[in-house]
Amino acid sequence: MSDTVKFHFDVDGSDFSSAGEASVTVKKKLRQLGYPPEVIRRVSIAMYEGEINMVIHANGGTADVEASDDEIVIILSDKGPGIPNVELAMQAGYSTAKDHIRNLGFGAGMGFPNMKKYTDEMRIDTVVGQGTTITMKVRF
Partner 1 sequence: MKIKEIGNLLDAVCLTGESHLDSEVISACCSDMMSDVLAYVKDQGVLITGLINPQVIRTANMMDMICIVFVRGKKPTEEMVELAEECGIAVMCTEKRAFEASGILYAAGLSRSAEGKHV
Residues binding partner 1 (CB under 8 A): 16-21, 23-24, 27, 37, 41, 44-45, 48-49, 52, 102, 104-111, 113-114
Q: Which is nearer to partner 1, 34 or 129 (CB)?
A: 34
Q: Which is nearer to partner 1, 6 or 102 (CB)?
A: 102
Minimal distance, residue 52 CB to partner 1, in Å: 7
Contact 122, 115 (CB under 8 A): yes
Nearest to 28 by CA among 49, 52, 48, 53: 48
C-alpha span between 23 and 63 (Å, rounded): 9
Q: Which is nearer to partner 1, 93 or 129 (CB)?
A: 93
CA angle 15/21/25 to nearest 5° reads 160
Q: Which is nearer to partner 1, 110 or 124 (CB)?
A: 110
Minimal distance, residue 103 CB to partner 1, in Å: 9
C-alpha span between 40 and 115 (Å, rounded): 14
Minimal distance, residue 1 CB to partner 1, in Å: 29
C-alpha span between 128 and 44 (Å, rounded): 27
